[in-house]
Amino acid sequence: GAVVSQHPSWVICKSGTSVKIECRSLDFQATTMFWYRQFPKQSLMLMATSNEGSKATYEQGVEKDKFLINHASLTLSTLTVTSAHPEDSSFYICSAPGGRGNYGYTFGSGTRLTVV
Amino acid sequence: SQQGEEDPQALSIQEGENATMNCSYKTSINNLQWYRQNSGRGLVHLILIRSNEREKHSGRLRVTLDTSKKSSSLLITASRAADTASYFCAENAGGTSYGKLTFGQGTILTVHP
């Protein structure tokens, strides 16, 4: 079945450094990728929508210069958290529509980011 | 972004019992989807119901949709310990089938063996 491979699954970084998270669609083309963040025991909050070959669309309140999104190909979208701070610690998940019958979406397995 | 409400927030049952989770949403939808999330993992798509559908089944899952009340319910029959997870509804209010999803707060289901 359709898979979105997300890496890394977890990362610990120092304050001020940048972290890149990759999501690759396997066996299907992801022209669109949604990026979410999730705090413990909370729901998913949409951060941005990326489309292959164009600029990402960010949700209100999400800093586009801090969360850089690149969607350079039909199978790869990346999220870079720049100059990370402890408050950026969260669970980040990507999702691509399609790849499944009946219009379901395929989610990556998530990345646990801890900034120390 | 607005989020729907789900109830209960937490549900604890015994194996073999049925589990019902409810979801309310605020906008007109193209479709509504239900997802499952095991702790610390990504989401798994369970079932999608379109705005012109009222009920849908998939294995032990049954989903209903009441667009007049802007609500949906997910029923898991004959629950198993392996069903323990968080369950989220997600509304697709876009004009297309692949619009962005807005997630509800989720229900944490615990099934005791």
Tell me: the pLDDT tens digits for A70-92?
Answer: 998 999 999 999 999 999 999 99
Q: Please check the confidence at residue A31 and state whether its pLDDT lies above 50.
A: yes
> Nearest residue on chain B to A59, judged by CA atoms?
B1
Q: How far is B83 from chain A (nearest CA, A)?
A: 17
The type of residue at B37 is: Q
CA distance A100 to A113: 28
* Dihedral of alpha carbons B22, B102, B84, B54, sign: positive
CA distance A33 to A38: 16
Q: Please check the confidence at residue B3 and state whether its pLDDT lies above 60.
A: no
Ramachandran category for residue B18: left, alpha or beta (phi over 0 → left; psi -120 to 50 → alpha)? beta
Minimum-distance CB partner of B42 among A46, A59, A110: A110
Find chain B residues with C-beta within 8 A of A104's C-beta.
33, 45, 48
Q: How far is B19 from chain A (nearest CA, A)?
A: 20
Q: Which residue in this structure is represented by tokens 């509304």?
A: B91
- C-beta atoms of B1 and A46 within 8 A: yes
Strands (E), A1-102: 3-7, 10-13, 19-26, 32-38, 44-51, 57-58, 67-73, 76-81, 90-97
Find chain A residues with C-beta within 8 A of B7's C-beta.
none
Q: Which of A49-63, A92-106, B92-106 is predicted most confidently?
A: A49-63
CA distance A64 to A68: 6
Find chain A residues with C-beta within 8 A of B63's C-beta.
none
Minimum-distance CB partner of B101 among A59, A105, A106: A105
Q: Sheet harboring A3-7: ordered strands across?
A: A3-7, A19-26, A76-81, A67-73
Q: Which residue in this structure is represented by tokens 């610690």?
A: A89
Q: Please check the confidence at residue A99 and state whether its pLDDT lies above 80.
A: no
- C-beta atoms of B45 and A34 within 8 A: no
Cβ neighbours of residue A63 closer than 8 Å, sequence gap 6 or more: none
Minimum-distance CB partner of A102 among B1, B41, B48: B48
Minimum-distance CB partner of A32 among B3, B98, B104: B98
Cβ neighbours of residue A55 closer than 8 Å, sequence gap 6 or more: none
Are A94 and A23 a contacting pair, CB within 8 Å?
yes
Q: Please check the confidence at residue A28 and state whether its pLDDT lies above 90.
A: no
| Tokens, residue B7 | 């109830």
pLDDT tier at B2, thresholds 50, 70, 90: very low
pLDDT of amino acid B14: 97
Minimum-distance CB partner of A109 among B35, B41, B88: B41
Q: In this predicted model, which residue has the larger pLDDT, B23 or A99?
A: B23
| Tokens, residue B103 | 């997630």
> Nearest residue on chain A to B2, judged by CA atoms?
A45
| Tokens, residue B89 | 């509804």
- Tell which residue, B34, B2, B38, has the closest CA to residue B111: B38
- C-beta atoms of A46 and B100 within 8 A: yes
